[in-house]
Amino acid sequence: MAITITAFANSLDQGRGLARDMIVRWALEEAGQPYRERLIPWADFKKPAHRQRNPFGQIPTYEEGDLILFESGAIVLHVAERFKGLFPVDANARARAIMWMFAAVSDVEPVIVQMEVSEYMESDKSWNAERAPLVADRARGRLADLAARLGGAAWLDGDFSAADVLMVQALRRLEGQAPLTEFPSLVAYVERGKARPAFKRAFAAQRAAYEATKAAS
Ligand code: GTB
């Protein structure tokens, strides 16, 4: 059954593989599933046709026959359950992979997003000089806990899984910046993710979509 995903036309991330369609592309590449893309221009995000796919008018979405999904974590979970390559066979190991998927989207990514909010949306506020270090410290603490658990392991729990797709993409939002750079094992973990052939294919596809829509606009 053909799979179609939505992504930004003229992606805000300028082809750096940070917009959340990258998560879905990477998961599909790991699972060896081809997909089509529907690139949504900024003007169409909140129109009814796209809200049919995602009530919040956001990307990414996923269509497979009459199944329509939004929410990147849920899409990765579906892809991991539907196809081979992203989940361990053992039931307990699979439960732990799902646990780590939730940890990536609900424990780790939000503290990183709060740093972005502080930097890009609150930098002109009088209280930002006080709040920004608190927000960074919260992220630092979460990353310290993650680094302590990861130790010298290659992946979060045994073999690479869907959880690593979500966690690496969450950490990539801080690439080259503190506090991520304070944790060499997490930097190496991100680099291991980026070295995977499936990541590289997904990244190239996302960049190609950006270049094509930029050239056309
Ligand atoms: N929880 C949802 C999910 O995981 O699917 C969040 C979806 C989401 O935030 N989508 C964003 C969106 O559609 C794009 S990815 N925004 C448009 C809108 O809300 O109207 C977030 C994103 C955008 C840009 C960068 N960047 O430039 O680096 C990174 C991440």
The pLDDT, as a whole number, for residue 37 is 97
Mean pLDDT calculated for residue range 212-217: 86
For residues 4 and 197, what is the distance between their CA atoms, to the nearest angstrom?
Answer: 21
Tell me if 25 CB under 6 Å of ligand 1: no
Mutate which of 8, 12, 20 for ligand 1 pocket (most atoms within 8 A of beta carbon): 20
Mean pLDDT of 93-110: 98
CATH code for the part of the protein at 3-85+198-216: 3.40.30.10
For the chain, the structural domain boundaries read: 3-85+198-216, 91-196
User: Does residue 58 have a pLDDT over 80?
Assistant: yes
* pTM of the entire predicted model: 0.97
Ligand 1 near 107 CB (within 6 A): no
Cβ 80 vs Cβ 159: under 8 Å: no
Please identify, by atom number, the ligand 1 atom nearest to the C-alpha of residue 45: 20
CA distances from 192 to 9, 31, 43, 96, 112 (A): 28, 18, 37, 20, 20
Q: Which amino acid residue places its CA nearest to atom 22 of ligand 1?
A: 19
> What's the token pair of residue 35?
């997909």
Cβ(83) to ligand 1 under 6 A?
no
pLDDT of the residue at 84: 96
Q: How far is the CA of 61 from the centre of ligand 1 (A)?
A: 11
- Asked whether residue 214 carries a pLDDT value surpassing 90, the answer given is no
Say if ligand 1 is within 6 A of residue 59 CB: yes
Pocket probe mutation, ligand 1, options 22, 59, 119, max atoms within 8 Å of Cβ: 59
Which residues touch 141 (CB under 8 Å, ≥6 apart)? Answer: none
Answer yes or no: is the C-beta of 140 below 6 A from any ligand 1 atom: no
Query: Is 3-85+198-216's fold the same as 91-196's?
Result: no
Would you state the pLDDT for residue 215? 86
| Residue 51 Cα to ligand 1 middle (Å) | 14
Instruction: Look at the block and give the residue holding tokens 């592309």.
Output: 25
Q: Is the pLDDT of residue 202 over 80?
A: yes
Mean pLDDT of the chain: 96
| Statement: residue 217 has pLDDT above 80 | no
In CATH, 91-196 is 2.60.40.1930 = no
Say what the pLDDT of residue 216 is: 85
Q: H-helix or E-strand containing 132?
A: helix 128-150
Distances (CA, A) of 86 to 28, 32, 116, 201: 9, 10, 29, 16
Q: How many CA atoms lie within 13 A of 111 on its CB side?
A: 23
Query: Ligand 1 centre and the CA of 108: distance in Å?
Result: 16
Q: How confident is the model at residue 1 (pLDDT cuts 50, 70, 90)?
A: confident
Question: Stretch 114-121: mean pLDDT, rounded?
Answer: 94
